[in-house]
Chains A and B, each alone.
Chain A
């Protein structure tokens, strides 16, 4: 590292290589957390769309009457306002999905999903830090 100012490098990641690797649970058209593959599966127009935990910034819920809303914010360029924006991107000129919001009547299940996403994110960040400490 150069005076500790070395630029963070983008590390590639991949959720799945083949559709046969998708969990069979996706057929219920609901949101799933696949901890084994560090991936959140989101139902978009009948398709299970994977998002690797590394793309996710955070997840939060809001109560809306009989419904609960789950908002997932993703990492994208131009978000580091006020603090250092040193998040590396493979292609900062690409289009990014910045957030996805779902609503559901399954309040408990959605709250569990939000919690699992937050925990998985924490685990991954912690592991990264441990790895870095080992390298130093």
Chain B
């Protein structure tokens, strides 16, 4: 069993304790709250990366979608990758994110997330569960709306799990909550519309 303190579950406000055992993972909020557990059979993929709050272990689970555990130390990588390999036969993929500060790249659709890649490195990823709506907002423009609690106060898990967020509510716990994102996706539409002499 490996144990880590100061870990945030799905961008929770309060950090808790994460335990990794052969049977699976658990996250216990501070105080007497309910413990979140994830059976080892649930694990599909795992990624290690630098997040806002320390390092993050991001897990793709079979039924809970993307589970984010933030707040690890850089040196925890070896311990975690070792037990993930031996207990779950899962490779903890070390992923470096793009830090160039560019707003152009490639929006790519993975198993559970939309990833915006800058020079083959993700700048950020958005689990599909966090998206409430998408629209064709204009010529070559796609808008993506995010699920947020209506009054901004609802904790997503009714105060359980240390105020962590259920899937579809992750950014709702943040001080600054992402509401909408618009992409410019060049396509063939512009070219067609530029033919003004009615060839179509």
Contacts and interface: CB of A to CB of B under 8 A. Distances in A.
Interface residues of B, number: 51
Contacts of A105: 152, 175
A115 interface: no
Contacts of B140: 78
Interface in A77-127: 77-78, 89-106, 110
A27 B13 CA distance: 12
A50 B99 contact: yes
Contact of B124 (A13, A28, A47, A102): A47
B31 interface: no
A128 interface: no
Nearest to B126: A45
B177 interface: yes
Contact of B174 (A13, A30, A89): A30
SS class, residues of chain A in contact with chain B: mixed
A78 B190 contact: yes
B175 A52 contact: no
Given A78-B184, A110-B176, A17 B99 contact: yes
B22 to A, nearest CB: 27
Contacts of B102: 51-52, 55
B43 interface: no
Given A19-B97, A98-B141, A100-B181, A45 B175 contact: no
Interface string B113-127: 000100000011111
Interface stretch (B32-40, B50-58, B155-163): B50-58
A89 B186 CA distance: 13
A28 to B, nearest CB: 7
Nearest to B70: A46
Contacts of B141: 98
B170 interface: yes
B104 A94 contact: yes
Contact of B186 (A26, A67, A75, A92): A92
Closest 4 CB pairs of A and B: A15-B101, A52-B101, A16-B99, A96-B184
9 contacts: A27-B52, A43-B171, A44-B124, A44-B178, A55-B104, A75-B103, A77-B186, A97-B182, A103-B179
Interface of A: 13-19, 21-22, 26-31, 39, 42-52, 55, 66-67, 69-70, 74-78, 89-106, 110
